[in-house]
Amino acid sequence: MMPQLLTVRVDRPAGRPIRIWVPVLPVVLVFLPVVVLAVLVAAVACLVYRVSVARALGTGWRVVSALPGTRVDLQHGRTAVLVAVR
């Protein structure tokens, strides 16, 4: 299953935290031409390096499907960023 929602929270030292909810599907639709071009470039690279194109694309889809539930926490000084994929 493809991720549905990306939640970003930025904790700032001098104020309230900023929360942003990003729906994934509209973002993917906007960037679809770039995604198609990237898939074509990856397919050509697979052919050049003699890697199975089907296996490489299947592995890429598995990585994208495994993203829901992922949390990334970053902290630098007193500023913290939390990214959660749902």
What pTM did the predictor assign? 0.73
Residue 26's domain comprises 5-85
**Ramachandran assignment for 59, one of left (phi > 0), alpha (psi -120 to 50 degrees), beta (any other):** alpha
Q: Please give the average per-residue pLDDT across 17-31, as a whole number.
A: 94
In angstroms, the Cα distances linking 69 to 23, 63, 73 are 15, 12, 13
The sheet with strand 79-85 has its strands ordered as 18-23, 5-11, 79-85, 71-76
Are 17 and 7 in contact by the 8 Å Cβ rule? The answer is no
| Rounded Cα–Cα distance for residues 6 and 16 (Å) | 20
Residue 1 has pLDDT above 80, yes or no: no
Per-residue confidence band for 11, with pLDDT thresholds at 50, 70 and 90: very high
In angstroms, the Cα distances linking 83 to 10, 20, 46, 67, 69 are 9, 10, 31, 12, 10
> What integer pLDDT is reported at residue 46 of this predicted model?
96
Domain count across the chain? 1
% of the chain exceeding 90 in pLDDT:
87
